[in-house]
Amino acid sequence: MTSLRWLALPVRPDSSAASALAGVALLAAVVPVSVEAATYATADDVARRAFPAATAFKDVLVTPTPGDAATLSAPGAPPRLGPVRTIEARQGDTLLGRVVVDAVVGKFELIDYAVALDAHARVLSVEILTYREGHGSEVRLAAWRNQFVGKTAADPVRIGGDISNISGATLSCTHVTDGVHRIVAWAAALGKATPS
């Protein structure tokens, strides 16, 4: 999938060459910049990797209460009232945990990601599913994503705290980190990581 962004180019007619090209430059003052969306995994892939002992996986849409919707929303954003996609992983009748699927805005485009949580709402993995930005894709690096493993609602889970930033990917790092923080807090507060 390709999305287009328009990049405005400044026109400065301060020389005779620029004056001669002013008419052409006005017509070409904007140039489309193509951004390729790259899909790296699906939520089902994440569930199978995070829970290799699982004998069954079940898609479960969880509709948050109004209070939960505020917890799940980005700071300053309206409450997230729509259902949250999760995948339960079970071994027989025992719930091993779940994968929560979410999306955050990087700089301009959405970053789809999934967080695998064990039965105690502890992070097992964070994986980037689809990345659409032109810059900042370093959030896909395993070394950066592995910083989340073992985190719970008791941890700060914030850039500059227990999660390091990546230069050149600050907004992607910050927004994915904020998203993981909200998911872990939501799962722990509601016991949604381990429904019966």
What would the DSSP string read from start to end of 129-149?
Answer: EEE--SS-GGGG-HHHHGGGT
In a domain, residue 153? The reply is yes
In a domain, residue 87? The reply is yes
Query: What is residue 149's predicted lDDT score, i.e. its pLDDT?
Result: 97
Model confidence over 124-134: pLDDT tens digits?
999 999 999 88
In a domain, residue 181? The reply is yes
pTM score: 0.78
Clarify whether residues 26 and 51 are in a common domain. Answer: no
- Amino acid identity of residue 89, one-letter, is A
Model confidence over 161-191: pLDDT tens digits?
899 999 988 999 999 999 999 999 888 876 7
Clarify whether residues 111 and 14 are in a common domain. Answer: no
Query: What is residue 25's predicted lDDT score, i.e. its pLDDT?
Result: 42
Contact 87, 97 (CB under 8 A): no
Reading the chain (196 residues) residue by residue, the pLDDT tens digits are 444 444 444 545 555 544 544 444 444 444 444 456 889 999 999 999 999 999 999 999 988 888 888 788 877 777 777 888 999 999 999 999 999 999 999 889 999 999 999 999 999 999 999 999 888 889 999 999 999 999 999 999 999 889 999 998 899 999 999 999 999 988 887 674 344 4
Number of domains in the chain: 2
d(CA 134, CA 61): 31
Clarify whether residues 156 and 84 are in a common domain. Answer: yes
Clarify whether residues 16 and 46 are in a common domain. Answer: no
How many other β-carbons are positioned within 10 Å of the β-carbon of residue 46? 24
Clarify whether residues 12 and 75 are in a common domain. Answer: no
d(CA 130, CA 165): 20
d(CA 60, CA 86): 5
In the numeric block, which tokens belong to residue 160?
Answer: 């500059």
Clarify whether residues 13 and 95 are in a common domain. Answer: no
d(CA 23, CA 33): 22
Clarify whether residues 16 and 86 are in a common domain. Answer: no
In a domain, residue 196? The reply is no
In a domain, residue 28? The reply is yes
Give residue 18's domain range: 2-35
- Amino acid identity of residue 13, one-letter, is P
